[in-house]
């Protein structure tokens, strides 16, 4: 059963305009989206990750994809994190094995699942908070938001990782 699904450094000049735009966009809606249930604020990296993930909503699924024309689940994660300046491995299995685990997922953390029934991570999503994740679900579908309360996800959950500060 999932845990309670409830390197930052100075900004580079290249990221500064994007970060300022993100701050301005989020300033008007600094309510529940900007804090976890326990009231802890999000780092700029996590806010950027969530904004980038939301930008990907509707992108078609494409096995092995990580671009605007299509993504698979781990390609979505790699693309979103790269845009926030955080490198992650390419596959869900390597992401699960190599990224720092966390007991309690926070918005922007990665959630891993065994959807192939092999005992290894075969699917990954980005935790949004409030029991939801953004992920690339599979062939013929598009990047979407999914509730983690579904038995399907509860039964296949392996763990969470926190690559962002």
SS3 of 3-54: CCCCCCCCCCCCCHHHHHHHHHHHHCCCCHHHECCCCCECCHHHHHHHHHHH
In this prediction, residue 40 carries a pLDDT of: 65
Which SS3 state, helix, strand or coil, does residue 145 take?
strand
- The correct CATH number of 16-161 out of 3.40.50.300, 3.90.1720.10, 3.40.50.720, 3.40.630.30 is 3.90.1720.10
CA-closest candidate to residue 83, choices 5, 19, 158: 19
27-84: per-residue pLDDT in tens? Answer: 444 322 222 333 368 899 999 999 999 999 999 999 999 999 999 999 999 999 999 9
For residue 92, the Cα-to-chain-centroid distance in whole angstroms is 12
CB 89 within 8 A of CB 101: no
75-133: per-residue pLDDT in tens? Answer: 999 999 999 999 999 999 999 999 999 999 999 999 999 999 999 999 999 999 999 99
Farthest-apart Cα atoms in the chain, separation: 45
Tokens for 75, please give them. 């390609």
């Amino acid at each position: 059963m999932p845990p309670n699904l409830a390197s930052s450094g100075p900004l580079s000049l290249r990221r500064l305009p994007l970060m300022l735009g993100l701050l301005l966009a989020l300033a008007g809606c600094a309510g529940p989206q900007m804090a976890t249930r326990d009231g802890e604020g999000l780092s700029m990296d996590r806010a950027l990750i969530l904004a980038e993930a939301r930008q990907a909503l509707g992108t078609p699924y494409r096995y092995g994809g990580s671009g605007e024309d299509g993504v698979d689940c781990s390609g979505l994660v790699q693309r979103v994190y790269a845009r926030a300046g955080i490198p992650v491995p390419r596959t869900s299995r390597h992401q699960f094995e190599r990224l720092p685990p966390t007991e309690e997922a926070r918005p922007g953390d990665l959630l891993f699942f065994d959807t192939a029934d092999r005992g290894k991570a075969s699917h990954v999503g980005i935790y949004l908070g409030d029991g939801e994740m953004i992920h690339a679900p599979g062939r013929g579908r598009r990047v979407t938001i999914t509730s983690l309360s579904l038995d399907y996800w509860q039964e296949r959950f392996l763990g969470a990782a926190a690559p962002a500060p």
